[in-house]
Structure 1
Amino acid sequence: MNHITEILILLFLAITFLQSGYDKIADWNGNVGWLKSHFENTFLGNKVPFSLGIILILEIIAGILALAGIWFLTMNDNKEIALYSGIVSCITLLFLLFGQRIAKDYDGARTIVIYFIPALFLVFILQ
């Protein structure tokens, strides 16, 4: 039962980001279309596909690092990859928060904070 808190948070992050990344890949056009309308009155309106690609890459990296972090924690008590997962997760969520604030979607921004808290807690307990 070593590192159970870290492992549970890493599982949460892996599920969150890998599912979100999969959704972006599986329905790229639907996501781009919805986001273009979401950001149409902002400076991000004509940068949606590029921005979505950046978010997709960050989410996949965060999710893979979370799974790798679990492996390294359980196999050889190494916290480094788990910490990187927490950091990349926080950065990804800050990008998402920034976008929601730019779009003036304050409810969406508030929702992102719910995901940010465990990611930040993971960084806190691993540093």
Structure 2
Amino acid sequence: MEYTAQILILIYIIITFLYSATEKIFQWKQSIDYYQSHFKNTFMEKFIPPSLLIVIFLEVIMVTLSLIGIYNLIQFNDMAFGYYGLVVAAITLLGLMIGQRIAKDYSGAMLITVYFMLTVFGIFLMQ
């Protein structure tokens, strides 16, 4: 298969963010409680519900673009949707990393960096 690496990266992004979005949606109260505790004593503590909605929206967008991207790669050799899905993922990960830094969760920020590196590599492959 011509685009094996690109497809595998998109599948990884889909699994990661589809699970993340569904977990936030179906465990809304627990997610709110967790993030309010995580961001306790920061300005973000008051903005958890709208912030989670924004993250869920971005996750759904990137999963949708990535699914269409896989289909278009296989059927039409077109990388555009996959590329945009990865760009949305990279922007989202930057926002999440900033949040971890605000919360002073430096190990959490470091873990996000691993996802970010894979995403940027995927963007590189899609160009």
Shared fold per TM-score greater than 0.5:
yes
Give the Cα–Cα distance (whole angstroms) in 2 for the partners of residues 86 and 38 of structure 1: 27
Once the two structures are TM-superposed, the CA of residue 71 in structure 1 deviates from its matched residue by 0.3
SS at match of 1:78: coil
Residue number in structure 1 paired with 2:123: 123
Once the two structures are TM-superposed, the CA of residue 44 in structure 1 deviates from its matched residue by 0.5
Asked if residue 83 in structure 1 is aligned to residue 92 in structure 2, the reply is: no
Code of the residue aligned with 1:22 in structure 2: it is T
Code of the residue aligned with 1:23 in structure 2: it is E
Residue by residue over 1:5-58, the C-alpha shift from the partner in whole angstroms, topping out at 9 and shown as x without a partner, is 000000000000101000000101100011011112111110000111101111
Give the Cα–Cα distance (whole angstroms) in 2 for the partners of residues 33 and 116 of structure 1: 26
Q: Is the 8 A contact 1:40 1:46 kept in 2?
A: no
Code of the residue aligned with 1:86 in structure 2: it is L
Give the Cα–Cα distance (whole angstroms) in 2 for the partners of residues 62 and 97 of structure 1: 17
In structure 2, runs of 5+ residues without a counterpart are none
RMSD over equivalenced CA pairs, Å: 0.7
Residue number in structure 1 paired with 2:62: 62
Runs of 4+ in 1 over 3 A off after TM superposition: none
Residue number in structure 2 paired with 1:38: 38
Residue number in structure 2 paired with 1:94: 94
TM-score, normalisation: structure 1: 0.98
Give the Cα–Cα distance (whole angstroms) in 2 for the partners of residues 47 and 40 of structure 1: 11
Instruction: Give the length in aligned residue pairs.
Output: 127
SS at match of 1:72: helix
